[in-house]
Structure 1
Amino acid sequence: MARWAADGLVAVTGASGRLGSRLAFRLAAEGARQRLVVRDPARAPRLSDGRALPQGEVAVADGYRDTAAMRAAFDGVRTVFLVSAREAPDRVAQHAAMIDAAAAAGVERLVYTSFAGAAPDAVFTFARDHWRTEQHLADVAARTGLRWTVLRDNLYLHALSTFVGRDGVIRGPAADGRVAAVSHDDVADVATAVILDERPARHDGATYEVTGPQALTLDEVARILGQAAGRDLTYHPETEEEAYASRAGYGAEPFEVDGWVTSYTAIAAGELAHVSDDVGRLVGRPARSLAQWLDDYPGEWAHLRRA
């Protein structure tokens, strides 16, 4: 794939997380200069021998609410990769503050990780947050000239493995709906291709649907996970009422429980079934299937074997 000279500084937020760290290693391999934004500098991505990533600076901020530190982290940066914040009641406000900070710092481009089916009336409640963030990003861009690209990721394959309870059962009101889950690595590859493209302007204003190569029912997910783990895993389709009742004892806030339950009802509604070829077009190879991910990353789902 043709890429640009990587001569501008890239800020990677959430750089110690599953997605941000993967992008950081890819940018380092391509020779890009980057600023890794983390809460704890001890958790910043490092090479296997413990050395810092080449051409990698570290900026510390106590989360997205630490707007002064985030604003400083964006000084001198050409491109910001904005990993969406943890779910919270003020999540949209956190995203908006980061977008505003990027624009105020003179950042040229912002790449935001949104979610499949983002819309004001999306079944998945957190997808509504992503839609509101996308709207704020477009508004800021219209006022300031900030260039943007949105990556609408489907559910992560790793998340599917966490759906399995200790008893080997996936429980949720997904009915027989399908989900085109995607790997963190494929999202990181897409982000690398977008950020380092030698013709970055062709991604300006683009919204990419980042999905896996197939849409699976949760029955199929349980079967594939079970084959890899060497045990019987099954799917039990709950009603919405059963789903709320079964999660009532977790001690979670209502907005969290709503998000958990509607992640399943969004599958039932068909909102996560779309299969896109954006990974193939941008990366130059097909997206990983669930079976391929299980083969390639056994450590990511080892908890299923231990259960």
Structure 2
Amino acid sequence: MTIAITGATGNIGGAVARALAASGTPFRMLVRDASRAPELPGAEVAVASFADADASRAALEGVDTLLMVSGSEAQDRLDQHRTFVDAAAEAGVGHVVYTSFAGAAPDATFTLGRDHWATERAIEATSMAHTFLRDSFYLDFVEDLVGEDGVIRGPAADGAMAAVARADVARVATEVLLHPSEHRDRTYDLTGPEAITLAQAAAIVSEVRGRTVTYHPETVEEAYASRARWNPEPWQADAWVSTYTAIAEGALAHVSTDVERVTGRRPLSLREVLQAG
């Protein structure tokens, strides 16, 4: 079995690459810049980007199982994904493991969840087997929501989210790559152990970091206005704000046991992620 992974220079792909290397499993890393690829035992490097069909086909020749870590946020990300999925199918890849989103749907409130839904459909339209890892929002990102004044601001109301640690997503992905037949054509919802509100998240960050962090619920109009200073493109502003409105409507409140079911280990909590960071 030949394994290939994308995203090896990032958080999840990098963790998977290190886990495969530690297990003694040979694999191929697809990267856009070979100079940034981590040096790991048993790993070979191929250069390709999602948008480059020819390079992707060449890089995926002989690959049985592929971890496709979703691309960086961009207005044309779905087009890039579709190009890469087609290239993988044409190269003869047998099984794609794709990092999707827990709220993936054609009308998902979190706007980027719509791209993930469409990418899943593109994969299903090929002859390749699949495993969809529908990740919730990342616990690792919670602290990044805190402004310089120690306040988390957003229109999340009192909604809760069952955010997941990137480390748990990587552990699930590694397990699937090593035993793909056991996870063929399955969809997993990857969440943390509990659903917490942003007020609760702020309290946990305060306790662990020893500084005061609070949550201020904005209106949707206030949210767009407070983010205008970064001059985002409309699609990016929509994505930022809908992160919070998806929490407000309860779309991310479901707690799944899939992390433990696949890995045999309970998922990390926000407190544990902060303490490890």
Following the alignment from structure 1 to structure 2, what is the Cα–Cα distance between the partners of residues 64 and 253?
22
Following the alignment from structure 2 to structure 1, what is the Cα–Cα distance between the partners of residues 232 and 53?
27
Residue 90 of structure 1 aligns with which residue? 76
1:186 aligns with 2:186: no
1:68 aligns with 2:54: yes
- What letter is aligned with 2:251? E
Residue 166 of structure 1 aligns with which residue? 148
What's the secondary structure of 1:158's corresponding residue?
helix
- Pairwise CA distance, 1:201: 2.5
Gaps of 5+ in 2: none
- Pairwise CA distance, 1:40: 2.1
- Kept in 2, the 8 Å contact 1:9–1:32? The answer is no
- Pairwise CA distance, 1:84: 0.4
Residue 28 of structure 2 aligns with which residue? 35
Alignment of 1:1-307 (within 5 A): 8-45=1-38, 52-61=39-48, 63-140=49-126, 144=127, 146-197=128-179, 200-296=180-276, 298=277
What's the secondary structure of 1:59's corresponding residue?
strand
Q: Deviations over 1:85-128 (max 9, x none)?
A: 11112111111111111110011110000001101111100001
- Pairwise CA distance, 1:151: 0.1
Q: What TM-score, normalized by structure 2, do the two folds share?
A: 0.97
- Pairwise CA distance, 1:66: 2.3
- Kept in 2, the 8 Å contact 1:38–1:58? The answer is yes
Following the alignment from structure 1 to structure 2, what is the Cα–Cα distance between the partners of residues 291 and 282?
22
Report how many aligned residue pairs link the two structures: 277
Following the alignment from structure 1 to structure 2, what is the Cα–Cα distance between the partners of residues 241 and 295?
35
Residue 3 of structure 1 aligns with which residue? none
- What letter is aligned with 1:191? A
- Pairwise CA distance, 1:227: 1.3
CA RMSD of aligned residues (A): 1.0
More displaced 10-residue stretch of structure 1: 262-271 or 92-101: 92-101
What's the secondary structure of 1:114's corresponding residue?
strand
- Kept in 2, the 8 Å contact 1:148–1:204? The answer is yes
- What letter is aligned with 1:211? T
- What letter is aligned with 1:294? L
What's the secondary structure of 2:4's corresponding residue?
strand
- What letter is aligned with 2:43? G
- Kept in 2, the 8 Å contact 1:120–1:128? The answer is yes
Runs of at least 4 residues off by over 3 Å: none
Q: Deviations over 1:154-197 (max 9, x none)?
A: 01112111111111100000000001111111001001111112
- Kept in 2, the 8 Å contact 1:114–1:130? The answer is yes
- What letter is aligned with 1:15? A
- Kept in 1, the 8 Å contact 2:12–2:166? The answer is yes
- Kept in 2, the 8 Å contact 1:81–1:110? The answer is yes
Following the alignment from structure 1 to structure 2, what is the Cα–Cα distance between the partners of residues 71 and 222?
45
- Pairwise CA distance, 1:202: 3.1
Following the alignment from structure 1 to structure 2, what is the Cα–Cα distance between the partners of residues 283 and 44?
27
- Pairwise CA distance, 1:138: 0.9
Residue 303 of structure 1 aligns with which residue? none
Q: What TM-score, normalized by structure 1, do the two folds share?
A: 0.88
